[in-house]
Amino acid sequence: MSLKYKKFFFLFALLFIFSGSFLVCHAAVSWEIRSGTLYVNGSGAMADYTSAAQTPWYANRDNIIFVTVTGDVTHIGDYAFSSLPNLTGVSIGSSVSSIGNYSFYDNAKLMSVQIPGNVEYIGDHAFFRATALISVTFGEGVKSIDNYAFSRCYNLRGIVFPDSLTTLGIHVFNTCDSLKTVRFGKGLKTIGSNCFYACYSLEDITIPASVETLGEFIFSNCSRLKNATILCPITTLPAGTFSYTPIASVTLPRTLTSIDKRAFLYCTSLTTVTFKGNSSEWAKITVLEDNDGLDYATVKCEETLYIVDTAYKKGMLSLSVAKEKPADGILITAIYDHSGRFVTMKKQPISYTETSANVTISAPESGTVGVVLWHTIECFTPLANSDTVIY
């Protein structure tokens, strides 16, 4: 190439760079920066990089304010949009199924993200230290959020997970100082260790019945956590779960057989533990060392009713009901027919000293009976789950 043409191409390249618009191509995916927006288009997966410095637009990173991923791009590459000091927003296209590791790492001005339901996987450290991030919206379809994905997002306020989400990795929201509300979906199976460690604004949490695996120290050092309800059928409360928190009230499942070390370490504000089983089951639970918080609490066990015997004769159903330990209340016996339709109900008081009762109630020839013990007729706060029998 002659010196004349070399000069021409050099000047042409400078014109594109300093006008803020140039095109970079890699395989079937192309990138164009225009008027402060980085456009990613094409088909297939973006390349994965080992650092932000490897990305083709790194030299022009200060000029990127917005990122748009369109077309048939299926994967946002590792480190693809990390360390963009002026990035404020992103639009993720309808074909993207995965967001790579460190893909939006260390973006200090990114304030909000909408992750559509077509994205099934969010990689580890994906939005790590996005310190200005206030809100994240997850579409129905997101299945897995990997380790440290939103850790140190200090301004993140609230999270609502879709029912499609099954897995939260370790340290996902570690040290999200402003995170106050978390609502889990119905499909969640796994919450990794330290997932919400040091979320200083979190006050209440309910773990749904769908969860099968809890990691250690999930809520440790959440300095405002007051109430927690665990609905899932775990057998062991993991180590450090509520350590160093001011938790006042916790509800534990009947399936629990052990409380691991430090689960309630330095929980000096704990006043009430509600156990979904009975007192004899609670007495059998193995409590390991450094659970001093339990020493401050009153343990409330749910009473359990049993229908011991039934007899049906000439439109009348006779029941013999036993309760596990004494408690004042109202015994409510409800009759349903074979189709599940309510037929009738009978109420009778049971004194503290009584541990059994006999009930006779009119009933159809076949149906279902349910028995529930309540505090009072007016309050209707259950002391027990209902026991049922089909006759």
Using one digit for the tens of pLDDT, what is the confidence trace for 333-372? Answer: 878 877 777 888 888 877 767 777 888 888 888 877 766 6
Closest CA to 80 of 46, 109, 41, 113: 46
Alpha carbon distances (Å) from 161 to 139, 154, 206, 329: 8, 19, 13, 39
- Spans of the chain below 70 pLDDT: 1-27, 303-306, 324-329, 352, 370-387
The one-letter amino acid code at 97 reads S
DSSP 346-360: EEEEE-TT--EEEEE
Per-residue pLDDT, 24:
45
- Cα 29 to chain centroid distance, Å, stands at 35
> pLDDT tens digits, residue range 226-238?
999 999 999 999 9
Q: For tokens 């009978």, what's the residue?
A: 346
Q: How far is CA 352 from the centre of its chain?
A: 40
Q: How far is CA 37 from CA 24, 40, 41, 65, 159, in A?
A: 14, 10, 13, 6, 28
Domains of the chain by start residue, with CATH: 17-301 (3.80.10.10), 305-390 (2.60.40.2150)
The per-residue pLDDT for 19 is 39
